[in-house]
Structure 1
């Protein structure tokens, strides 16, 4: 099975790369042209001008995540002093949230009763934030009720919320532990650690809730083991969902499908059982894979360099941010 999946991945990558005309693609920090990418049932085109900032200001550095609310607004976390940036679904600037939201390494949307909130892992500040959709901080973890966190929060990289309202947090740049907190931020359980065995991680970079099987599971991007793994809500290992990936950083689920941001120059769409279905923006120049300081002249429309965060929107399009020093956000419109 492993060899079969690997063969499909390689063949699909070649198909996606061969489909594109790489020699004549406009370059720049904001996409300026329509370029097609993908294969099979998942084919997309880029949207020029999406996520442009006022007066030509850079959106980045984009070392963070992407989230979309029920109204279609797009939120992008950055390492700039303006922090999280909010755009309309058409990509027009709405507002930025300010320095308190700077350097949220991950960003996700969560339901809270009839409301929606943003959750993010602040890697430099070593905390998790819950925000309203205007950027007001509603909760910080750790707080006075958290208790002692084994291994601390150094290197915190991702967070998701379970159906019961608990927070699940990964520390992929540090201990490789995963922590469970209740809705108030009280620590309930810790598991994981560094390694390649079941239930261990080598850079547990991103995490999301996966309900596609009918049972709520945690889907973890085990980046340097190049795989996605499932855990139940008590951290019992349930299996490898997909492997032979190119350093998966983040995953977003819509219906039966998962879109994976792979740091080595590609986004992959996976089926319900983890099978690769489509390859998007596959970067043919391996020298640009997983590189943050990429010159603007080499940021070609329709090709990724270092996909780090992404989200499906409400219409089946995908918003992707590259890990990039000047900032790079691409909307892939479903064809």
Structure 2
């Protein structure tokens, strides 16, 4: 996909010189900045756009992506509830541009689908976080893995050991996966904010061999707290949604931090389109996050080049008792936005108002 271009050499050095002053000049790199809640909402909400088979209802979902064709939508949902551990339903679903279900697979394989990604060849990557808070415990020796499927559901690769692992083993509660133009695989791992939790980015080559890891749990430089989202812009910069720290870290391919953005609040999901527009889903501010209680949940839209926030789709439930609004976000070639919701158990589509 075009947004995964690798950016290196003298071009990188030139861009680094420009990137940091651009956002700071706009006053957007301050963790104590006032909430960005007042941007216009140029979209209307379409509920029930994706049609499930008769008798099936949506479960929690944070996983939504756009097919290689730019029109079809892939979703991984948690089998009508918040875990597929006791279900025989297929959890990976493909809908065409009209919302009609055309493909489904993954039954009995994925316990808690959390992230989904479509690579340049049209293959489907699904993250099994196994992070449902113990409400439905994972069977021993299962979960905490990442699966690569063909578009028809053939399993092509599995990353991680069944049941997971920490430190030199992997994974433990992976959140999301993306691939770069050269085939490298990036995984964000760590879904807990408890002291000592794992929180890192792992990079694999195209064959699944670990190349490096970066990051540790904490609040400081080079540290992460629930790295929940990954995206790349047209220059190959990696955007890390450091959700527990309510910031986005922008790094180069050597993980040098180029900038830190706070204006998108607590990022659960990030999507960057071919024009470098950025869409950030914040499901964790407001009533469920007292330190960020003044920030509203929703999807903030802006520029991945400058960091300026230009639009905001607010969560329609201002004070829910648990996580709400979209966690996963994706945008099709026509500019329609899709929000995958855990708390509300839904996939919503947002169309630009006419």
TM range (shorter): 0.7 to 0.9
- Give per-residue Cα distances to partners, 1:62-93, cap 9 Å, x unaligned: 2x310111331111111213211111112122
1:256 matched to 2:254: no
Where in structure 2 are the equivalents of 1:46-125 lying within 5 Å?
Answer: 46-62=45-61, 64-71=62-69, 72-80=71-79, 81-99=89-107, 100-111=109-120, 115-124=121-130, 125=143
Q: CA deviation at 1:202?
A: 1.0
Q: Give the match's secondary structure for 1:157.
A: strand
Q: Give the match's secondary structure for 1:246.
A: coil
CA distance 1:166–1:15, change in 2 (3 Å): closer
Distance 2:317 2:94 in 1: 31
Q: CA deviation at 1:197?
A: 2.0
- From 234, 238, 242, the equivalent of 1:218 is 238
Q: CA deviation at 1:283?
A: 3.8
CA contact (8 A) 1:310 1:320 kept: yes
Where in structure 2 are the equivalents of 1:309-320 lying within 5 Å?
Answer: 309-320=328-339
Where in structure 2 are the equivalents of 1:258-277 lying within 5 Å?
Answer: 258-264=278-284, 265-271=297-303, 272-277=305-310
Partner of 2:21: none
Give structure 1 stretches of 5+ with no counterpart: 17-37, 292-304
Partner of 1:35: none
Partner of 1:302: none
Partner of 2:350: 332
Q: CA deviation at 1:196?
A: 1.9
Q: Give the match's secondary structure for 1:106.
A: strand
Partner of 1:168: 186
1:238 matched to 2:244: no
Partner of 1:29: none
Q: Give the match's secondary structure for 2:178.
A: strand
Q: CA deviation at 1:245?
A: 3.4
Where in structure 2 are the equivalents of 1:5-16 lying within 5 Å?
Answer: 5=28, 10=35, 13-14=37-38, 16=40
Where in structure 2 are the equivalents of 1:24-63 lying within 5 Å?
Answer: 38=41, 43-62=42-61
CA contact (8 A) 1:261 1:268 kept: yes
Distance 1:119 1:252 in 2: 16
TM-score (normalizing by structure 1): 0.77
Distance 2:267 2:55 in 1: 31
Partner of 1:301: none
- Give per-residue Cα distances to partners, 1:181-205, cap 9 Å, x unaligned: 1111111111101112222111111
- From 194, 197, 220, the equivalent of 2:220 is 197
TM-score (normalizing by structure 2): 0.73
Distance 1:233 1:165 in 2: 13
CA distance 1:121–1:270, change in 2 (3 Å): same
Partner of 1:299: none
Query: RMSD of the TM alignment (CA)?
Result: 2.6
1:150 matched to 2:168: yes
CA distance 1:142–1:151, change in 2 (3 Å): closer
Distance 2:51 2:33 in 1: 36
Distance 1:161 1:103 in 2: 21
Distance 1:314 1:15 in 2: 23
- Give per-residue Cα distances to partners, 1:97-132, cap 9 Å, x unaligned: 132245221111111xxx311122211211111111
Partner of 1:34: none
Distance 1:3 1:128 in 2: 39
CA contact (8 A) 1:52 1:59 kept: no
